[in-house]
Amino acid sequence: MLVRDIMSSPAITVSADTHIPEVARLLRTHQISGMPVLDADGALLGIVTDHDLILRNAPVREPRYFAILSGYIPLNLEEHRHYKEQLRHTMAITAGDMTEPGVPVVAPDTPLEHAMELMLDPAVTMLPVLEGDQVVGVVTRTDLVRLIEKLESAL
């Protein structure tokens, strides 16, 4: 089975300059957890998710530092990384501000097993499906659960 057999198409997308309230409205209206963010030419920049919106509105937790001379050294690098990510999301005005490059992608002819392997990573909740450099769909966890339900009920 291939990605094209289960992907949701066409994908609901936003442009990089879409404001955060509109992103939230689209997620709620379409009852989806994320969507691809495209540049002015329609090329994929990344994705924006409900997690990004929640992170944007969550209380910011400052990491613990060790003061030495006139500088501060974070005690926990993971806390510091999370703090920087929270600040970036909190200050975001548009979908492009929240988007990080490097999101995993698949092609329509990608074997479904490969997509499932990518989605074993808890951080990967959606895979944009690219044909060339154009987004033609997405594979979400819901798409996979729908397939699993169909396969399990056939037994």
Domain range for residue 93? 3-153
Kindly give the parts of the chain with pLDDT less than 50. none
- Please give the pLDDT value at position 143: 92
- Please give the pLDDT value at position 24: 94
- Please give the pLDDT value at position 36: 96
- Please give the pLDDT value at position 60: 67
- Please give the pLDDT value at position 86: 74
Q: What span, in angstroms and rounded, lies between the C-alpha atoms of 113 and 147?
A: 12
- Please give the pLDDT value at position 82: 74
Number of domains in the chain: 1
Q: Give yes or no for a cis peptide into 10 (omega within 30° of 0).
A: yes
CATH code for position 64? 3.10.580.10
- Please give the pLDDT value at position 26: 96
Do residues 135 and 11 lie in contact, with contact meaning Cβ atoms separated by under 8 Å?
yes
- Please give the pLDDT value at position 43: 93
- Please give the pLDDT value at position 70: 73
Q: For residue 50, which amino acid is it?
A: D
- Please give the pLDDT value at position 65: 67
Q: For residue 15, which amino acid is it?
A: S
